[in-house]
A and B are shown apart, each in its own frame.
Chain A
Amino acid sequence: MKLELLHAMNVERGARRAAVLVTDLASGAQRLVKADQIANDDLGEDLEKALQSGKSGMIERRGTSVFVQVQVPPVRLVVLGAVHISQALAPLAWLTGFDMMVIDPRTAFATPERFPDIKIVAQWPDVALPEIGGLDRYTAMIAVTHDPKIDDPGLIAALKADCFYIGALGSRKTHAKRLERLQAAGFGEADAARIHAPIGLDIGAVSPEEIAVSILGEMILALRKKPLRQPSVSA
């Protein structure tokens, strides 16, 4: 592999853009196809499929074997709410490879003492989200503040950005009220259905740590069991 090619791959990853590296295994010839070039590529359909599944693999075309290395951005976890559950999530997210950051405008909650080694932004979501580089479909967003003033703008941003996992803490009753507010903001039922609430897999979790495990399990399920969504337009 040429160093320039590797550099180009690293640049795409650093900018959180997907790309595929195509290697002709017989000749060793390689090229990098960036996400926005896939549609016009000879192998466009195959590459699109690979990108959707996020899985690298061999494909046979015109009698030759090519290896398609899929590179999707590192998966991020944006947590709205610097609460006890978020503290429990931090080491679990690190362990499982999610790049976690915490947003909470309440400065008493969002402190480095409570979240060592985690990026914390003590701002309202409308200020904090641009600061962390925005949301995308390789980002999970969970809202755990219980305060609609903080949670709602984050959830709306996550729906618009097509985050692969969106979760919100709260009882069914709380969630019903939340859905009413989202409908008033112009979101339909299909959008609302994309919010996991009550949040987390039903493993009977009680403590903040157990709830963190149930949330993480549900996130991994969303990430691995189905392809990441194509960007789509919502309200």
Chain B
Amino acid sequence: MDDDLLQQAENWSRAGRAVAIATVVETWGSAPRPVGSHLVIDENGHFLGSVSGGCVEGEVVSEALDVISSATPKMLEFGVADETAWRVGLSCGGRIKVYVEKLIS
């Protein structure tokens, strides 16, 4: 499934959409999606794939919009100890690190 996502990211970019790719780079505890999972986001907030069980995607999408406008990669961290993570609800109790980068065409 994730394989199609990267093709989709390329297709979006070639169709003239600004695209960011978020990738799970590290997990601790019971993380719902394995390292290497992707979320592909466009400038309008459309997204495909997942980096968690749906708990933090909203936050990742809004950070991705920043990355799309700044073109500077960002490392995000979510976990139960984190106030933000609790708010956006990584309720499984795990911790994840997500790298967000812009696709430069």
Binding site for B on A (CB under 8 A): 1-3, 6-7, 9-10, 13, 23, 25, 28, 55-58, 67, 69-71, 74, 97
Per-residue CB contact flags for chain B residues 25-47 toward chain A (1 = under 8 Å, else 0) read 11000000011100000000000
Query: Which residues of B (73-97) have their CB < 8 Å from a CB of A?
Result: 73, 75
Contact A3:B25 (CB < 8 A) given known A56-B36, A97-B1: no
Closest 8 CB pairs of A and B: A56-B36, A3-B105, A67-B25, A56-B35, A28-B73, A2-B104, A10-B7, A6-B10
B23 CB to nearest A CB, Å = 7
Bound complex: CA A186 to CA B54 (Å): 53
* A58–B25 touching, CB < 8 Å: yes
Q: Which residues of A contact B102 (CB under 8 A)?
A: 1
Binding site for A on B (CB under 8 A): 1, 3, 6-7, 9-10, 13-14, 21, 23, 25-26, 34-36, 73, 75, 99, 101-105
* A55–B35 touching, CB < 8 Å: yes
Contact of A25 among B10, B99, B105 (CB under 8 A): B99
Bound complex: CA A23 to CA B75 (Å): 13
Bound complex: CA A2 to CA B7 (Å): 14
Q: Which residues of B contact A55 (CB under 8 A)?
A: 34-36
Bound complex: CA A70 to CA B99 (Å): 15
* A3–B10 touching, CB < 8 Å: yes
Bound complex: CA A13 to CA B1 (Å): 13
Contact A1:B103 (CB < 8 A) given known A13-B3, A67-B25: yes
Contact of B26 among A23, A28, A58, A69 (CB under 8 A): A58
Inter-chain pairs besides A7-B10, A56-B35, 17 sampled, C-beta below 8 Å: A1-B101, A1-B104, A3-B14, A3-B103, A3-B104, A6-B9, A6-B13, A6-B21, A10-B7, A10-B10, A13-B3, A23-B99, A57-B26, A57-B36, A67-B99, A74-B3, A97-B1
